[in-house]
Structure 1
Amino acid sequence: MNQLQAIIFDMDGLMVDSEPLSQQAWDEYLRPYGHQLTEEIVSNIIGLRADVSTPTIKELFNLPEPVPVIIEKRAAIYSQIRANGVPIMPGLHELHAEIARRQLTWGVATSSPRHHAQEILQQLGLLDRCQAIAAGGEVTHGKPQPDIYLLAAERLGIPPQNCLALEDSGPGSLAATRAGMTTIAIPNAQTQTADFSHVHHRYSSLHDVLANLDQFFD
């Protein structure tokens, strides 16, 4: 294994339990049309950028509004929901306390827009400590392509092969692996059945990452 020098976190579903809130936003948008997302639909779009997932949902439910309008309206609903606070994933603060103690370099690679990432990190009290953010709108190709992880590594100033990536979704973990990173999958309730055959390790929570940190960083 290459000497690891940094940790790159996915955000939604990994740092915060925001996937149910994201689904709630979709359901609120779809309610006037008499639709809601099924578990199968959620599992198919999880970890993808809005410009990839929205056309799928538009076609599935034959929605009349153009994709950009759907994205904008749903984003506004989601923003209102998030404003009430987002549940933190177990072990997040303990892990970050140890990252701070060891003075490890870390950043975020998220499919979400940059303002969303900054808002969440601010709520978590981690924005000032985050050393790089790579957001969905800043790359040509979203997850599962490696672009977003390559951008995060570039902004941290560390080669991708020297980065440890933490992911909860199939597309996200595939993106990190394709970028050449050591990848840990930490599935949540929505991603338990995803294909993680490409990852290097699979843990049940961020507590496990903390417990195994010596394995990755001296």
Structure 2
Amino acid sequence: MSQEDQSIKPNLRRCLFQPVTHCIFELDGLLIDSERLRNDSIQKILDPFGHTYGFDLKMRCMGKPESEQVDLIVNTYDLNRYDFEHQLKLLSRGEYARLKLLPGVERLLKHLHDFNIPMAIGSSSCRNSFEAKTRRYSRLFDVFHHVVLSGSDEEVKKGKPAPDIFLATASKFNESPEPSKCLVFESSLLGMEAALAAGMQVVLVPDPLVSMRSSALATLRLKSLESFRPQYFGLPPFLRSS
């Protein structure tokens, strides 16, 4: 069931969710603004050809491993794959230094870490790009128990919307929690589908243009992580001063 941030009363909303013990986060478009920068880079590559990187194609790409995203784009616009990847890599290098945390991220991660809530990342990135994207915030990202990347880790046989990425991530926690005890934070519809297929609840923070109908299966839909209330899922609430 999906609800906007303020669409139901707090005392009713708490009844809709099940308590969890572990949290799994996507990276791109949820924790850092890498999706926006990547979209800008792709559009710069397409400009000389007169193409527009449209919303529908962006949604089809979001959540997929990076190699599959490239396949979709070069096939859609009949581009040379080598040239496209080379240009994208060059543009991305300059942008990684400008990546910013998205609203509410730092507060939430520090809060969960302070209360010893186990956290991990389950992302579609590959290892090299993950390290480059997170280097600026390496100290903050130390709060995560582990990272699983479907773009590099062989244990993830199928990318999203298959549940492999989140099942693999959950299995690496020391406590080996049941899927129902894991809460996934996602920004893509494919990630939402993968989390639900894994038997997990999912908090979706999508692009504002994503329709309510498309995200209707999300456990909770938010405009940003600033709106997240941990206590709805049985997690320690924010302190008033935080």
| Structure 1 portions without partners, runs of 5+ | none
Structure 1 match to 2:71 = 55
Residues in 2 aligned to 1:75 and 1:161: alpha-carbon distance in whole angstroms: 38
Q: Distance in 2 between matches of 1:13 and 1:194?
A: 20
- In structure 2, the CA distance between the partners of 1:103 and 1:183, relative to structure 1 (3 Å rule), is same
Cross-structure match for 2:169: 152
1:163 and 2:182 are equivalent in the alignment:
yes
Which residue does 1:116 correspond to in 2?
Answer: 129
C-alpha RMSD over aligned residues: 2.2
| Aligned mates of 1:101, 1:59 — CA distance in 2 | 46
- Once residues 95 and 178 of structure 2 are traced to their aligned partners in structure 1, the CA distance between those partners, rounded to angstroms, is 33
Please say if 1:76 is aligned against 2:89. Answer: yes
Q: Judge conservation of contact 1:21–1:81 (CA < 8 Å) in 2.
A: no
- Stretches of structure 2 that go unaligned for 5 or more consecutive residues are 1-16, 237-242
TM-score with structure 2 setting the length: 0.78
Pairwise mapping of residues 99-110 of structure 1 onto structure 2 (< 5 A)?
Answer: 99-110=112-123
TM-aligned CA deviation for residue 103 of structure 1: 1.1
Distance of aligned partners of 1:187 and 1:162 in 2 relative to their CA distance in 1, 3 Å threshold: same
Task: Give the alignment's TM-score, normalised by structure 1.
Answer: 0.86
Cross-structure match for 1:17: 33
Moved more, 42-51 or 70-79: 70-79
Deviation at 1:87, TM superposition (A): 2.0
1:132 CA drift (Å): 1.2
Secondary structure of the residue that 2:183 maps to in structure 1? Answer: strand
4+ residue segments displaced more than 6 Å: none
1:126 matched to 2:140: yes
Q: Report the Cα offset of residue 118 of structure 1.
A: 2.9
Evaluate the alpha carbon distance shift between residue 92 and residue 31 of structure 1 in structure 2; reply closer, same or farther with a 3 A threshold: same
Distance 1:70 1:134 in 2: 29
Are 1:26 and 1:36, in contact at CA under 8 Å, matched by a contact in 2? no
Residue identity matched to 2:128: H
Equivalent residue pairs, number: 213
| 2:167 alignment partner, SS class | helix
Quickly say closer, same or farther: Cα 1:106–1:194, change in 2 above 3 A: farther
Q: Report deviation, 1:114.
A: 2.1
Q: In 1, are the aligned partners of 2:63 and 2:124 still within 8 Å (CA)? A: yes
Map of 1:177 onto structure 2: 196
Deviates most, 123-132 or 83-92: 123-132
Distance 1:147 1:107, change over 3 A: same
Question: How far did 1:91 drift?
Answer: 0.6
Identity between Structure 1 and Structure 2 (%):
24
